[in-house]
Amino acid sequence: MGGGISGLACARGILDQAPSTEVLVLEAGTEPGGPVRTERAEGFVCEVGPHGFLNADPSALDLAKRLGLEDRLLFPDEARRGRFIFLGGRLRAFPDRPLRFLTSDLLSVWGRARVLLEPLLPLDPPRGDESVGAFARRRLGREAAERLIDPLVCGIYGGDMDRLSLASSTPQFAGLARRSRSLVVAAVRMVRAHASVAGGSTRLHQRRLVSFVGGIGELVRGLVDSLGTVVECNAPVTGLARHGGGWRVTIGGAHPRQLLADTVISALPAPAARPLLGPLDPELARALGSIGFLPAAVVALGLRREDVAHRLDGFGYLVPRAEGGSVLGVLWSSSMFPGHRSPEGTVLVQAILGGARQPDICEQSDAWLEEQVCGQLRRAIALRGAPVFRRIYRHRPGLPQYEVGHQARVAAVEAAELRLPGLFITGNALRGIGINACTVDAGKLVTRVLGRLAQPNVPAAAAATA
């Protein structure tokens, strides 16, 4: 159930390893891929949701290569990788080197001194399942938490750092905090290690943003083309019940019917999974019901280059909560991938709005959303004139929120899976929100599914993924 990147990657993984398995991906929408979609119009290449994935682990990149997309890979222009924070009515460079931090105007002198004091503070690792905000304030001080950490967290989850779990939503940061005596010292070491990797002196794996010449939608297109008739759109699952040792799946939509499957994979957003899976197990219902999602909107605007005074020499900027407004951040798509995202003489910027800042964002009109972004761009990059191109995308239920207590919710989902043999649950609500995290989780799930199918009492040709 679910033809987003998680469901599609599960189907591909099963068929790669056990080609004789009967697999069906049931997708409620008219198109697969969830937010991973690219729209091309009037020479602009707009991302409906994600701009790419971070290859923190090689999973998604390997998938792309297996799909024959190696020639289509596109990496951002590293020479322009600067990022900015909109603070006090103007853009300020996010310091990417320790020395630049000392001279940066992002924090006051006291704010910088407070960060530099951190290595001298008594050892104080994360306290249980602590929120990102509480931990950041304690270790780095209020100013750094609100001006640096809040916008970074908002840029990924659209959420509230005081509610998001440090361990679940920023596991690398949490690991760093547990392993190192000082976050600042560990961060400096990491930056140095990255610098030496970039300099070619070591062959360590380097985290990079990865996209495709024609946009991130190429990944979904490649998956769907390789899966062929395995993917069925306009096929919402409306019911799921145990049937003998397997499952009876009820499908609504254009071709309502029921089918029997030995194995069912739920790759649905938690709000869609809960009404289907909840009746099977009250603990599962509780766990899925307590994973919140926040809606988001993406506004893509094509601008005449001459109407923008700023050099746009970076990937874009984030907006801390204290600045107000509903814009979480703006990506300068045509600076990230020059020559690939907008026609000559124009630039493409894409803003993301909503999340915890404005949960009713999807209810706002197109005109209102565009004006919010234009108002923000007038202040940040000195935009004059009106956009020459616009596209607006709404995301419901939007982005999952790994709030404090998330680990216990995931454990409850995993315990319920053991009580429901033949049902497997994945998707971005559980163990990672990024595309790469979804393909990593799909890969692990495929191993478990194939383990079940290999059991002697299970018919080998009957796995329904969804």
Ligand X SMILES: Cc1cc2nc3c(=O)[nH]c(=O)nc-3n(C[C@H](O)[C@H](O)[C@H](O)COP(=O)(O)OP(=O)(O)OC[C@H]3O[C@@H](n4cnc5c(N)ncnc54)[C@H](O)[C@@H]3O)c2cc1C
What order of strands is seen across the sheet that includes strand 423-425?
231-232, 25-26, 463-465, 263-266, 423-425
* 3-state DSSP assignment of residue 118: helix
Report the site for ligand X in 290-329 (rule: CB under 6 A): 296, 298
- The single residue among 170, 342, 358, 428 that binds ligand X, judged by CB under 6 A, is 428
- The single residue among 50, 76, 141, 302 that binds ligand X, judged by CB under 6 A, is 50
The DSSP code sequence of 169-226 is H-HHHHHHHHH-S-HHHHHHHHHHHHHHHHTTS-------EEEETT-THHHHHHHHHH
Q: Please report whether residue 64 would count as binding ligand X according to CB under 6 A.
A: no
Q: Please report whether residue 272 would count as binding ligand X according to CB under 6 A.
A: yes
With respect to ligand X, which residue has the nearer C-beta, 126 or 314?
314
Q: Please report whether residue 28 would count as binding ligand X according to CB under 6 A.
A: yes
- The single residue among 13, 24, 34, 373 that binds ligand X, judged by CB under 6 A, is 34
C-alpha closest to that of 357 among 404, 314, 320, 406:
320
The interface region with ligand X, picked from 73-81, 123-131, 241-249, 427-435 by CB under 6 A, is: 427-435
Q: How far is the CB of 104 from ligand X (least distance, A)?
A: 25
Contact residues for 300 (Cβ-Cβ < 8 A; gap 6+): 44, 46, 47, 333, 348, 349, 350, 389, 390, 391, 392, 393
Neighbouring C-beta atoms of residue 279, cutoff 10 Å: 13
* 3-state DSSP assignment of residue 27: coil
216: which 2 tokens? Answer: 């991130």
C-alpha closest to that of 321 among 372, 375, 362, 357:
357
- The single residue among 114, 274, 395, 431 that binds ligand X, judged by CB under 6 A, is 395
Q: Please report whether residue 237 would count as binding ligand X according to CB under 6 A.
A: yes
Q: How far is the CB of 253 from ligand X (least distance, A)?
A: 9
- The single residue among 11, 13, 21, 35 that binds ligand X, judged by CB under 6 A, is 35
383: DSSP letter: B
- The single residue among 11, 37, 49, 246 that binds ligand X, judged by CB under 6 A, is 49
CA 100 from centroid of its chain's CA atoms: 29
With respect to ligand X, which residue has the nearer C-beta, 29 or 343?
29
- The single residue among 15, 23, 36, 106 that binds ligand X, judged by CB under 6 A, is 36
Q: Is 71 exposed, middle or buried (0-12, 13-18, 19+ CB in 10 A)?
A: exposed
Q: How far is the CB of 55 from ligand X (least distance, A)?
A: 10
Q: How far is the CB of 15 from ligand X (least distance, A)?
A: 17
- The single residue among 14, 15, 24, 26 that binds ligand X, judged by CB under 6 A, is 26
With respect to ligand X, which residue has the nearer C-beta, 125 or 279?
279
Q: Please report whether residue 349 would count as binding ligand X according to CB under 6 A.
A: no
In angstroms, rounded to a whole number, what is the distance separating the alpha carbons of residues 96 and 220? 33
Give the orientation angle of helix 171-179 with respect to helix 132-140, to 10 degrees: 40
Q: Please report whether residue 357 would count as binding ligand X according to CB under 6 A.
A: no
Is 435 in contact with 7 (CB distance < 8 Å)?
no
- The single residue among 1, 74, 265, 318 that binds ligand X, judged by CB under 6 A, is 1
Q: Please report whether residue 152 would count as binding ligand X according to CB under 6 A.
A: no
Which residues of this protein are in contact with ligand X, per CB under 6 A?
A: 1-7, 26-29, 34-36, 49-53, 236-237, 267-269, 272, 296, 298, 352, 395, 398-399, 427-428, 433-436, 438, 466
